[in-house]
Amino acid sequence: MTLVLPPRLTASAEAIRDAARRRGLTTVQLPTFDVPGDLRATNLHAGPSFADVVAPKLGIVLLEAPAGWLTELPGELTRRDVRLTPIGEAYAIRHPVFVKSPNDKSIKAMIYADGSRLPGPDAVERDTPVLVSEVVRFDAEYRLHVLDGSVVAASRYAEDGRLSLGTDTVDAEKFGADVLAATTLPSAIVVDVGRIGGDWAVIEANAAWASGCYVSDPDRVLDVVLRAAGPAAAVGDHDRRFLRN
């Protein structure tokens, strides 16, 4: 097995690379987005822009949650109003909202004072889908790496909107199990959850092949990454509906 990595590595990506090497995998860090003609690789860990260029050339397919997955959850799991809409319609919003792209970073995830502050039609097509959310404040935020419907690694990554790493994840994992029982996701995925006051809520789902591990066990995270971005021939029936286009 060979794991392909992008030109620049975060500390998290380095931890996953080192876990792969300990396991006996070959790791290849490409200096650019160009794929050497003789490269043969089975898996990938990188951001969307790199993955979208490199993965198809290597026969690697990518798993991700459906764009509207968060909007389909019941209110008791989200604790806020969330909708998927074309950015052209979001331009008409005249109050503060949190807006992000569903499965990449083309629209910066942040609070916008109103829809006029979003990237304009000169920068993005009007039919580009965005997730528009009611503005809430999460007291603490946690990342859950999920494999085959179970949380296999977890980390706290923020408190009061600021980076704060920790391993106090028992309650987050319990809530994650409730979420996983109530929905359908790829066999390998990341789910971020958090606390709003005394309530737990889903923040979002992220592609495991593009997500950091914070202080989660990188060996367990690696298991999720390898499933989330692997050979097309290895994709099971359950995951075929979750392939990134």
pLDDT for res 104 = 85
What are the structural domain ranges in the chain?
Answer: 81-133
pLDDT digits over 67-88, tens only?
999 999 999 999 999 999 999 9
Q: Rounded CA gap, 124 and 107, in Å?
A: 9
Number of Cβ within 10 Å of residue 95's Cβ equals: 10
Cβ–Cβ < 8 Å for 154, 140? no
For the chain, the first-to-last Cα distance in angstroms comes to 24
Whether residue 210 is predicted with pLDDT greater than 90 in this model: the reply is yes
- Sign of torsion over alpha carbons 5, 19, 24, 187: negative
* Residues 183-200 pLDDT 10s: 999 999 999 999 999 999
Q: What is the mean pLDDT of residues 45-68?
A: 97
- According to DSSP, residue 67 is labeled T
CA angle at 70 for the pair 64 and 76, rounded to the nearest 5° = 140
Q: What is the rounded distance in angstroms from the CA atom of residue 171 to the CA atom of residue 187? A: 22
Q: How far is CA 118 from CA 87, 89, 108, 138, 140, in A?
A: 8, 11, 9, 23, 27
d(C-alpha 204, C-alpha 199), whole Å: 16
> What DSSP character marks residue 231?
E
Report the amino acid identity of residue 161: G
Locate all alpha helices (DSSP H) within 146-187, ordered by sequence: 170-182
pLDDT on residue 105: 82
- For residue range 102-141, list pLDDT tens digits in order: 988 889 999 999 999 999 999 999 999 999 999 999 999 9
How does the average pLDDT of the chain come out, rounded? 97
- CA separation, residue 216 to residues 13, 106, 166 (Å): 12, 27, 9
Between 218-228 and 11-22, two packed helices, what is the crossing angle to 10 degrees? 90
Radius of gyration of the chain (CA): 18
- Residue holding tokens 């994709």? 235
Q: What are phi and psi of 12, to 5 degrees?
A: -65, -45
Q: Give the separation between CA 108 and CA 77, rounded to whole angstroms.
A: 24
| Residue pair 44/60 in contact by the 8 Å Cβ criterion | yes
How far apart (Å, rounded) are the C-alpha atoms in residues 59 and 42?
8
Per-residue model confidence as pLDDT tens digits over 144-159: 999 999 999 999 999 9
Give the list of residues 6+ apart from residue 177 with CB closer than 8 angstroms, or none.
150, 151
pLDDT at 68: 96
User: Percent of the chain beyond pLDDT 90?
Assistant: 98
